[in-house]
Each structure stands twice: as structure tokens, then as C-alpha cells.
């Protein structure tokens, strides 16, 4: 998973140093970004656009970011999610943890799960081999695991006439110090990678844990509540992100949504995409979303993972108040925290 409990734990003290350290770095200032934004708004009209990104292929299991999962369950997930995307003509990219392909006797069958994305016209990217957390992984190991994580994926992409281009940091942890961040950014650039930012996440990992817990307890009512509350929460996070976009850029910038390759989305993605269509969104590629001038705004942030809209506040000279964002319902958070705690003990 990319967002975890850690996603909402922040290291604000480090921000100040980061802003000073990056003062002379090349990139757009707030004024330039706003100016570009105004021009773009005139061109784009009222149309909203969004790129869908799906993390933790070939499957994110409840309660555990590192579980290999049962092949049958993974087949269901990787059939269901691309099918929902295809039905809505939604472009998407799936970010892979190749460690989860390494199950004796199932390697080909698991690589086939990735192939299911490519034959559906979707793209694949690198999410680090073992889902390392850059906040507590040495730079050398983090770099090694990036390379180790591209072996199968890049071969599949090559056979499909494509190449691997995007990297997504697990937990959105892009570096705890400016030195580590700068060094890894240079490493990525050398290998031809672009970082895939995230402007909206809908805490699907919290609701997926709640759904998994409900199914384990054979509690149908709770399972239905997890799905219903998830879809309601989607509206809450979009309301928030759209308000932020208007405040920061004076318009609706192309958004980049992060969700996970899990059972919850296998069941809910169709309804989620329908919701986005009703909100006026057109589905676009990461390339297209990131061509918007907003994405040239500097990322001055160091610390544990936060969304790009928050990172950009530093460059735009705005106050960063991380306590303001939406939170999933308490009941689901409690199950999520309990399940994660139990798995850590095992
Ligand atoms: Zn992840």
C-alpha cells in the first residue's frame, strides 16, 4: 500500500529547513504556477480530469502490506479492477511490488496477473520490489530494490511495445532528509524514471481492512457498511481536493488519484468511477495530467509521506495545516489500527 497510518503522521519541523534548502533550486515559483494556471483554465474550460493510479499489484491484502495472498483471490482482483476501468474507458497505471510475484510454483501465474493489465490497455509502473519504506530504509537498499523491482515488469512492458517510466514511493515517503531525497531523485532520473505524484487518496486501505475484517467475521452488515462508507468518503475527499485546487491554483487542476489493487476496489471501483463521471471528470493518462503547469510546482517537502497538494503549499508560500484534511470514519480506523497492530506482533 502507499498510504498507511504513516501517511497522516507528519514531520512538520523538517519543512522549514526544506524550504530554505530548496530556495535556489530550479523550478516554478508560486506566482509562475498561478499564472500558468490561469492560462490553462481558459483553455480547459470547466472540464475536470483525473489520472487513476493503482498501487500494490498484484494485490493488497487486508491488514498486511507484505502478504503474498492466495492466487485465486489475486486473479479475482486483477480481473475485476481492469474490467471496471475498461468499462469506463478509464486510463490507469498499476504500480507493482515484484516481491509478491516470487511464490514457488506460481511465478508464471502471478506474472500473468500483470499481463492482464497490459492486455486491457493499462500501464504498469515500479512501486519498489519489497514495498520498502524510505523513511527507515538506507538509500543504497532503497535503490537496489528499485532495480530489483523492475525485472518482470519491464520485460512485460517491452513485449507490449512500452517501457517502464513511472515510480511510486511506498507510503509516499520521498525522503526524510533533503540529502536522501535529492540523491534518490537523481538516481531515478538516471534510470529514466519520473515520480508519480498523488493529489487525492481515499483511504481505501482503511476500508479494505474493515471489509476484510467483516468477511472474516461473516458479518454481512459490516461488509456492506465498509463499502457504503468508502463510497461516501470518496465524495468527502474529492470535495476537499477540489476546494484546495481552487484556492491554490484558481481552477480545477488535473487530479491524480491513488487507490490500491484490493478486494474493496474490485467491488466498488465501478461505482467510484461512475461517481467521478458525475462530478464531471474525464479520465486521462499520467503524462497528460502531469503536462499541466501545476505539476511543475516545486516539491519542497521532506518528511513522512503527504499528498502533493500539501507539498506544493510550501512553494506557493501558503500555510501547511495537515490537521485540516478529511479522516475516514472512526469505526473503520479502529479496525484498521487493530489489524495492523496484530499483524506486526505475528
Ligand atoms: Zn504501496
What does the pLDDT look like over 263-316, one tens digit per residue? 999 999 999 999 999 999 999 999 999 999 999 999 989 999 999 999 999 888
227 contacts 211 by C-beta, under 8 angstroms: yes
Q: Which of 11-20, 45-54, 103-112 has the lowest mean pLDDT?
A: 11-20
- The pLDDT of residue 59: 98
Q: Which of 11-15, 128-132, 330-334 has the lowest mean pLDDT?
A: 11-15
181 CA distance to ligand 1 middle (Å): 18
Beta-carbon contacts of residue 123 (< 8 Å; ≥ 6 apart): 91, 92, 93, 94, 117, 157, 162, 166, 285, 286
132 CA distance to ligand 1 middle (Å): 9
55 CA distance to ligand 1 middle (Å): 5
13 CA distance to ligand 1 middle (Å): 25
* Dist. CA 147–CA 129, nearest whole Å: 8
Q: Which of 14-18, 118-122, 187-191, 280-284 has the lowest mean pLDDT?
A: 14-18
Q: Count of domains in the chain?
A: 1
**Mean pLDDT, residues 170-185:** 97
Q: Percent of the chain scored above 70 by pLDDT?
A: 86
pLDDT of 231 strictly over 70: yes
CA-to-CA dists, residue 287 to 57, 246, 281, 310, angstroms: 20, 22, 16, 21
- 45-82 pLDDT, tens digit each: 468 999 999 999 999 999 999 999 999 999 999 999 99
229 CA distance to ligand 1 middle (Å): 22
- Across the chain, mean pLDDT equals 89
54 CA distance to ligand 1 middle (Å): 9
- Element holding 57 (H helix, E strand): strand 48-57
Instruction: Kindly indicate the confidence band of residue 30, based on its pLDDT and cuts at 50, 70 and 90.
Output: very low
41 CA distance to ligand 1 middle (Å): 32
pLDDT of 40 strictly over 90: no
**Mean pLDDT, residues 329-343:** 95
Radius of gyration, CA atoms only, the chain: 19
- The pLDDT of residue 42: 42
208 CA distance to ligand 1 middle (Å): 14
- The pLDDT of residue 343: 83
* Dist. CA 293–CA 105, nearest whole Å: 47
250 CA distance to ligand 1 middle (Å): 31
Domain at 143, CATH number: 3.20.20.370
- The pLDDT of residue 283: 98
Instruction: Kindly indicate the confidence band of residue 1, based on its pLDDT and cuts at 50, 70 and 90.
Output: low
- The pLDDT of residue 39: 45
- The pLDDT of residue 175: 97
* Bond prior to 317 in cis (omega within 30° of 0): no
- The pLDDT of residue 47: 83
- The pLDDT of residue 322: 86
Using a CB cutoff of 5 Å, list residues around ligand 1, an ion: 1-2, 55-56, 170
97 CA distance to ligand 1 middle (Å): 8
* Residue 48, SS3 per DSSP: strand
58 CA distance to ligand 1 middle (Å): 11
CB-count exposure of residue 21 (10 Å: 0-12, 13-18, 19+):
middle
Beta-carbon contacts of residue 42 (< 8 Å; ≥ 6 apart): none
171 CA distance to ligand 1 middle (Å): 6
127 CA distance to ligand 1 middle (Å): 7
205 CA distance to ligand 1 middle (Å): 10
65 CA distance to ligand 1 middle (Å): 7
63 CA distance to ligand 1 middle (Å): 13
Helices 71-87 & 263-278, crossing angle to 10 degrees? 10
37 CA distance to ligand 1 middle (Å): 30
29 CA distance to ligand 1 middle (Å): 30
Q: Percent of the chain scored above 90 by pLDDT?
A: 82
pLDDT of 37 strictly over 60: no
- The pLDDT of residue 27: 45
27 contacts 310 by C-beta, under 8 angstroms: no
Domain limits at 335? 5-345
pLDDT of 122 strictly over 70: yes
Amino acid at each position: 500500500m502507499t498510504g498507511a497510518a504513516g501517511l497522516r503522521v507528519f514531520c512538520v519541523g523538517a519543512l522549514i529547513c526544506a524550504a530554505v534548502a530548496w530556495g535556489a533550486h530550479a523550478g516554478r515559483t508560486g506566482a509562475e504556477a498561478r499564472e500558468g494556471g490561469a492560462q490553462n483554465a481558459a483553455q480547459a474550460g470547466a472540464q475536470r480530469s483525473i489520472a487513476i493510479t493503482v498501487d500494490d499489484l498484484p494485490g493488497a491484502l487486508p491488514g498486511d502490506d507484505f502478504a503474498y495472498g492466495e492466487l485465486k483471490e489475486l486473479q479475482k482482483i486483477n480481473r475485476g479492477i481492469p474490467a471496471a476501468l475498461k468499462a469506463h474507458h478509464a486510463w490507469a497505471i498499476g504500480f507493482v511490488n515484484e516481491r509478491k510475484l516470487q511464490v514457488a510454483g506460481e511465478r508464471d501465474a502471478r506474472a500473468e496477473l500483470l499481463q492482464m493489465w497490459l492486455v486491457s490497455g493499462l500501464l504498469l509502473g515500479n512501486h519498489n520490489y519489497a514495498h520498502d519504506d524510505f523513511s527507515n530504509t538506507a538509500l543504497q537498499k532503497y535503490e537496489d530494490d528499485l532495480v530489483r523491482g523492475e525485472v518482470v515488469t519491464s520485460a512485460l512492458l517491452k513485449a507490449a511495445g512500452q517501457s517502464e517510466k513511472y515510480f511510486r514511493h511506498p507510503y509516499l515517503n520521498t525522503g526524510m532528509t533533503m540529502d536522501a531525497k535529492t540523491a534518490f531523485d537523481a538516481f531515478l532520473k538516471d534510470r529514466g524514471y519520473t515520480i508519480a505524484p498523488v493529489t487525492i487518496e481515499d483511504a481505501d486501505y482503511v476500508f479494505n481492512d474493515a471489509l476484510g475484517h467483516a468477511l472474516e467475521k461473516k458479518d454481512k452488515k459490516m461488509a456492506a457498511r465498509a463499502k457504503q462508507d468508502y463510497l461516501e468518503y470518496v465524495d468527502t475527499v474529492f470535495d476537499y481536493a477540489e476546494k484546495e485546487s481552487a484556492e491554490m491554483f484558481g481552477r480545477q487542476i488535473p487530479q491524480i488519484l491513488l487507490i490500491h489493487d484490493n478486494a474493496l476496489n474490485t467491488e466498488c471501483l465501478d461505482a467510484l468511477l461512475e461517481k467521478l463521471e458525475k462530478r464531471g471528470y474525464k479520465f486521462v493518462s499520467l503524462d497528460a495530467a502531469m503536462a499541466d503547469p501545476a505539476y511543475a510546482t516545486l516539491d519542497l517537502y521532506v518528511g513522512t509521506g503527504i499528498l502533493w497538494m500539501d507539498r506544493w503549499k510550501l512553494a506557493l508560500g501558503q500555510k501547511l495545516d495537515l490537521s485540516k484534511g478529511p479522516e475516514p470514519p472512526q469505526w473503520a480506523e479502529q479496525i484498521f489500527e487493530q489489524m495492523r497492530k496484530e499483524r506486526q506482533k505475528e
